[in-house]
Chain A
Amino acid sequence: DVKVTQSSRYLVKRTGEKVFLECVQDMDHENMFWYRQDPGLGLRLIYFSYDVKMKEKGDIPEGYSVSREKKERFSLILESASTNQTSMYLCASSKAGGSETQYFGPGTRLLVL
């Protein structure tokens, strides 16, 4: 069965803190993605990775970085959290290729005070 897990369901951080969001998939997928979802703005891609140590910027990478040291794990890092990064963060994974289905984790709701 398809399984994508995220380290936290809810997180509260203060402005300026460094924040780590972890995502793990157990499907041996090559591709992994980080999105954020905000009311009225839909789903927006932050970064994705198509292989270990490989990454590409999505539409809104500013203020974020990512790390993929192992195939099953993709981390999103907020170097210095700001209030406008308060959002729902969603991780997804898929097999390699451009037509493969993406499977999502449960999401992390981050509040930056």
Chain B
Amino acid sequence: DAKTTQPPSMDCAEGRAANLPCNHSTISGNEYVYWYRQIHSQGPQYIIHGLKNNETNEMASLIITEDRKSSTLILPHATLRDTAVYYCIVRAERSGAGSYQLTFGKGTKLSVIP
């Protein structure tokens, strides 16, 4: 499985854009980059995923570099409710069963400050 590296923590002022980086230099050509977040004592929440192209949805934007060795999750207008641990994940596909396992690293603890 490709490994990911994220900074352990980041601060962001409320209302500003939060840019969360992730390195995945060993990613394979058919592996997706996924982002989840986990608010304290809750289950992980899916945010966005992508393969090569940049992606945007109602929650965030995902920018993937051309060489796919790194990506950035952008929360355009951070609110206090965005305070959470953010996980960057590269999907590992299990053989034989049409499903896949997610491997969460330590993530980035984002603190949104008033």
Contacts and interface: CB of A to CB of B under 8 A. Distances in A.
Interface of A: 4, 30-31, 33, 35, 37, 42-43, 45, 48, 50, 54, 56, 58-59, 90, 92, 94, 96-107, 109
Contacts, number: 69
Interface of B: 32, 34, 36, 41-46, 49, 91, 93-94, 96-106
A55 to B, nearest CB: 9
Contacts of B42: 106-107
Question: Interface residues of B: mostly helix, strand, loop or mixed?
Answer: loop
A31 B99 contact: yes
Contacts of A43: 44, 102-104
Contact of A102 (B46, B93, B94): B46
Contacts of B103: 42-43
A50 B32 CA distance: 20
Contacts of A33: 99, 101
B98 A106 contact: no
B43 A99 contact: no
21 contacts: A30-B98, A31-B98, A35-B102, A42-B103, A42-B104, A43-B44, A43-B103, A45-B101, A48-B99, A56-B94, A56-B96, A58-B101, A90-B44, A94-B99, A98-B91, A101-B34, A104-B36, A104-B46, A106-B43, A107-B41, A107-B43
